[in-house]
Chain A
Amino acid sequence: MAIIDDVRSIIAKSLNIPMERLTPESRLDELGAESLDVIEIVFGLEEKFDITIPLKADEATRLASAGKADGDGQNVPFSTVGDVADIVQKLVAAKASQ
Chain B
Amino acid sequence: MRLARRLKNQPWMQKAVGVMAAEYLRLVWNTTRLTLEPENFYQRYETEQPVIVAMWHGQHFLLPFLRRHYRFKVLISRHSDGEINAIAAQRLGVGTVRGSGDHGRRFQVKGGVAGFKGMLDSLAEGWNMALTADVPKVARVAGLGIVKLAYESGRPIFPVSLATSRRLVLDNWDRSEINLPFSRGAIVVGEPIRVAKDADAQMLEQARCALEKALNAASERAHAIVDRRL
Contacts and interface: CB of A to CB of B under 8 A. Distances in A.
Given A29-B107, A60-B78, A35 B118 contact: no
Given A39-B148, A60-B78, A34 B102 contact: yes
Interface in B111-145: 111-114, 116-118, 144-145
A61 interface: yes
Interface residues of B, number: 25
Interface in A39-89: 39, 42-43, 55-61, 78-79
A34 B114 contact: no
Contacts of A36: 101, 112, 116, 144-145, 148
Nearest to B143: A36
A78 B104 contact: no
Given A35-B145, A36-B144, A39-B148, A60 B102 contact: no
B57 interface: no
Nearest to B104: A34
B105 interface: yes
Interface of A: 28-29, 32-39, 42-43, 55-61, 78-79
Contacts of A35: 101-102, 107, 110, 112-113, 116, 145
Contacts of B112: 35-36, 38-39, 60
Contacts of A60: 78, 99, 108-114
B176 to A, nearest CB: 23
Nearest to A32: B105
Contacts of B116: 35-36, 39
A29 B78 contact: no
Contacts of B108: 29, 60-61, 78-79
Interface in B61-118: 78, 97-99, 101-114, 116-118
A54 to B, nearest CB: 9
Given A34-B104, A61-B108, 13 more contacts: A29-B106, A34-B107, A35-B101, A35-B112, A35-B113, A35-B145, A36-B144, A37-B107, A55-B114, A57-B97, A60-B78, A60-B111, A79-B108
A32 B109 CA distance: 15
A57 B113 contact: no
Contacts of A56: 114
Contacts of B114: 55-57, 59-60
Contacts of B98: 57-58
Contacts of A43: 152
A37 B201 CA distance: 13
